[in-house]
Structures are given as structure tokens and as C-alpha cells.
Amino acid sequence: MFQKGLKDVVAVHTKIASVDGDIGELRYRGILVGELVATNTFEQLATLIWTGEREQAKDFGLNQYRELPAHIIEIINALPTEISLMDAMRTAISAYAHTAFKEKPIAEQAVLLTAALPVIVARHYRNQLGLPVVEANKDLSHTANYLWMLTGEIPSDVQVEALETYLKLTMEHGLNASTFAARVTISTESDLTAAITSALGTMKGPLHGGAPSGVISMLNEFKDPTQIRTIVKNKIENGEKIMGFGHRIYKTEDPRSIILREKCLELQGKDAWLDIATIAEKEIIELLAEFKPGRKLYTNVEYYAAAIMRSINMPPELFTPTFSIARMIGWTAHAIEQLENNTIFRPQSIYVGEMK
């Protein structure tokens, strides 16, 4: 049976995560993501997704693996600053595929690549800006260290809490395009660096990992709350798409957006951007229900992700790399799972050309 884009075709059995779009439910290793985000750090959730172990206190010590090999540093420094962050990430990760690295157990490789990716992003980003590199700080968490390396300033607790909530909610989401790319590559019995390089190349595409710049642009138009309703109403009447609402999988509210909204409400009064986003969402939902009845256009994760990224002064060019830093957990977990019971992916195609 032909399904364009393999839509709704079941290609794998997995124990890593489940996404139920009809009821708006996301689970990591069978546990509701809301429960996990509230009680675990990024490092602890990574351990759960990689191994299935639920011990909250355990993690793989990502802070001990942030030092890049000398040849990776040389490659990053040799890259023209015009090369995008996603391309720099892909190049640097592929360069890990030397013999000594391949000889390590794949679980250890996953930890090393996860620890390395924020360092790669921050180094190339500061090279692009002509700023000195900020070395990793082993005393900081995965999230806090990333912000430290980007800016050279110890981030506030509010900044770390907001960004870490986003990272924990986007580290895994089933068989999305980039995860599928990773599994296809590793199914050929290639190596983990090749699988992650494939995933990064897929994530780069605007239909998958594209930055939520449209949400930022819309929120930028709201100079104060009294303008929101008029601006959004004009957009709807002019046929413009309201960015940050609607999702291909979720037929109800995206559970990740619910959690991000709750986090924004917790931080209300501490950041003007988060305040305007929470007010605007309510107005937009009411207007969409009024002008597009029956469409079920609920808030998606992109909406509050954009608000959080903007609130911590993260420029748009860092959105997709930051998404990739989180999703590295899911990519590596799926690659490991694929090899545990591997069959190479080989779907069929139907020839529709002319017979001569």
C-alpha cells in the first residue's frame, strides 16, 4: 500500500517513547513527560531515555566529557564563519569517526557526543561573532554550561530553568524525520557518528527543525497587551497563518506546550517576554475558535519555545542547534535500540513513469 511520506506507516517497535496525538499524550519509557520534567534534571532524563532506568539520582556525568579532541577544535577553527551552525555541527560530529572513538562501546559514544554538541555550537558561534572562546565549566549543569559558553556570563536561575524545561521536553518525540534518518543509517550497520550526521542533516531542513522565527516576529508586533486582539484579528481576516498553533500529530493540545505554559506562568513577572506570550496565547485561542470553528488549532511547542528562547536573549540562528542539543538524546537512544534487533530499512517504491 502506498502512503506518501510514509504517513501513519508503522516502521519500528520501540520502548523509548510514545506519542498519542489523539489524546495529547507524550511518554518517555512509559512515564508521562509532565511527571518526568517536574522531578528530573536533563542529565537524569537522558539516563532514563538511554537505559530505561528510573533512578532519579543517577546520570552519566556529562559534565566530565566536555573537552573536545584536538582535531575537532582544529576543524571548527578552520571553518569559515559564514558556514551555518547546523553545518558546523554536522562537520564536527562526523569528524569523531576515528578508530579510537569507534572502538568505544556505543553507549559511551552517545554520552561523549551529547556532551560535545553544546561545546561545538558555542565555539563556532563565538567564532562567527569574532569573540574569544569560552571554555566549558565542569561545575555547571548541561544547560547552564551551554548558556555560559555562549555568553561568557553565568546564567540566572530563571534562564536555566526556562531553557532546561524546553530541552527536557524536546529530547525525544518518536519516529520524527531526523530520528528516522538516524535509524535508517545505523540499520546499515554504519556507525553512530554517521547516524547522528544524518540526523543533523535532516534536522537542518525548515520543515522539521526550522527556527520558530514566525512566532518571534508575531510576538514582536505586540508592543502591549491591548494591541494583541486587533493585530491577530487582522492577520486572520487577511488569511495569514498564525504561527505556533496547530500540529501534524496532536489533534488536541500539545502536552509539551502545556508544560511550557505552566513554566512561563511560574516565571510570570520575572520576564516581560514570557508575560506577553501567556497573555497573547489566550487571546489567540479565542480568536481562532471564533474565526476557524472546528479546526482544533491548539498551541504547539513552537509557540512557547520561541517565547522562552527570546526571553533568554537567544538569537534565531541558535534555535535549531539548541533543539538538536536536546534531540541528541533521542537520536542516540534510537540508534542503540535499532542495533539491538536490527533489520535494514528497505521500503518499496512504485514506478509511475512511462514504459518504453
Q: Which of 327, 318, 309 is nearest to 215 (CA)?
A: 309
Give whole-number Cα distances, 49 to 11, 42, 74, in Å: 20, 11, 32
The catalytic position among 164, 172, 281, 302 is 302
Q: Which residues of 289-316 are buried (b: 16+ CB within 10 A; e: fewer)?
A: eeeeeeeebbbbbbbbbbbbbbbbebee
| Contact in structure between 177 and 83 (CB atoms under 8 Å) | no
Strand order in the sheet with 25-28: 17-20, 25-28, 31-32
Q: How large is the greatest C-alpha to C-alpha distance in the chain, in angstroms?
A: 70
C-alpha cell at 86: 547546523
Going by their DSSP bridges, the two strands 25-28 and 31-32 should be labelled as antiparallel
**Residue 247 known to be catalytic:** yes
The catalytic position among 172, 247, 334, 337 is 247
Tell me the residue type at 64.
Q
How many beta carbons lie within 10 A of that of residue 106, not counting itself? 15
Name the residues annotated as catalytic: 247, 302
